[in-house]
């Protein structure tokens, strides 16, 4: 219709009308482009909100996973301190509890990081749908280190090998069977926990011999204390990640596209 109108106005040499027709076309194209851009921006903002909601969920799962690990480390430390008391002659620790504490201090667990959404955003370029550069930088900063594989939480002190190489296998098996890890679901994965106390069904004489063996090891106290220090470092780093996770969660909740 516009084309016929322009042709007629040209034939009639009505240049003002031709100009008006041209402006109508230009304005129509401009409006169409603007509407298209607006729709594209709206779709991008909605997608960004979906992705941020998923990141928020992943961060909550990180916190749950780390909290489970902190509970585990707390139980390990209590057992380790019981063994320390036994070695230092404090609190009249029995041979049974000394042996149990010394073994349980070797226990290891880990927290799982939830990075699926971030990895997807990064690989597809959808991270750029987030218009807030400060929030985007905060996301990059949080995920710059995978806490589940970082050296400061995966480091293993020599104590685990030291104790498990000296303690009789029969006693180790008994502790694992009667007081070992209990697996439970955390968020979309799993973790483990240790029973807070342990009473072992095992011959007293064998436990007495094992306790004497551990006390006779020249580096026993040194290795145990170093084990506690290494685990305390892990706990401190996990707590830092919980703080950073909480900051990022708050930033996502405050985000306004």
Q: What is the pLDDT of residue 184?
A: 95
Question: Is 93 in contact with 78 (CB distance < 8 Å)?
Answer: no
**C-alpha to C-alpha distance for 168 and 213, rounded to whole angstroms:** 10
Cα 7 to the center of its chain, rounded Å: 68
- pTM score over 0.85: no
85-106 burial: b if 16+ Cβ within 10 Å, else e: bbbeeeeebebbbbbbbbbbbb
Q: What is the pLDDT of residue 46?
A: 84
**C-alpha to C-alpha distance for 56 and 158, rounded to whole angstroms:** 38
**C-alpha to C-alpha distance for 210 and 216, rounded to whole angstroms:** 10
> Where do the domains of the chain lie?
2-254
Q: What is the pLDDT of residue 28?
A: 60
Work out the end-to-end distance of the chain between its first and last CA atoms, rounded to an integer number of angstroms: 41
Q: What is the pLDDT of residue 12?
A: 59
Q: What is the pLDDT of residue 47?
A: 84
Q: What is the pLDDT of residue 88?
A: 95
Q: What is the pLDDT of residue 187?
A: 85
- Collapsing DSSP to helix, strand or coil, 193 comes out as strand
Q: What is the pLDDT of residue 33?
A: 60
Q: In 3-state terms, the chain is what percent helix, strand and coil (to 5)?
A: 75, 5, 25
182 — phi, psi (to 5°)?
-115, 115
Q: What is the pLDDT of residue 61?
A: 96
Cα angle 229-232-235, degrees, rounded to a multiple of 5: 160
Q: What is the pLDDT of residue 188?
A: 82
Cα angle 62-66-69, degrees, rounded to a multiple of 5: 145
Q: List pLDDT tens digits, range 218-252.
A: 999 999 999 999 999 999 999 999 999 999 999 99
* Residues of the chain predicted below pLDDT 50: 6, 10, 39, 42
Q: What is the pLDDT of residue 37?
A: 52
Eight-state DSSP code of residue 129: G
């Amino acid at each position: 219709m516009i084309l016929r109108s322009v042709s007629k106005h040209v034939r009639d040499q009505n240049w003002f009308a031709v100009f008006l027709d041209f402006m109508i076309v230009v304005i129509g194209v401009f409006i169409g482009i603007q509407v298209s851009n607006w729709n594209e921006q709206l779709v991008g903002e909605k997608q960004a909100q979906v992705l941020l909601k998923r990141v928020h969920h992943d961060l909550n799962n990180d916190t749950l996973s780390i909290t489970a690990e902190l509970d585990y480390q707390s139980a390990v430390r209590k057992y380790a301190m019981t063994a320390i008391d036994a070695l230092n002659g404090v609190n009249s620790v029995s041979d049974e509890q000394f042996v149990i504490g010394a073994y349980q201090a070797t226990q290891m667990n880990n927290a799982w990081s939830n990075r699926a959404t971030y990895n997807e955003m990064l690989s597809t370029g959808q991270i750029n749908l987030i218009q807030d550069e400060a929030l985007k930088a905060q996301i990059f900063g949080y995920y710059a280190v995978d806490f589940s594989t970082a050296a400061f939480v995966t480091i293993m002190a020599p104590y685990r090998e030291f104790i498990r190489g000296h303690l009789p296998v029969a006693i180790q098996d008994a502790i694992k069977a009667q007081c070992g890890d209990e697996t439970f679901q955390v968020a979309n994965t799993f973790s483990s926990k240790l029973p807070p106390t342990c009473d072992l069904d095992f011959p007293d004489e064998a436990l007495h011999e094992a306790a004497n063996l551990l006390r006779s090891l020249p580096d026993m106290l040194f290795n145990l204390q170093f084990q506690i220090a290494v685990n305390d470092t892990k706990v401190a780093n996990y707590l830092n990640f919980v703080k950073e996770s909480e900051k990022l969660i708050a930033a996502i909740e405050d985000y306004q596209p």
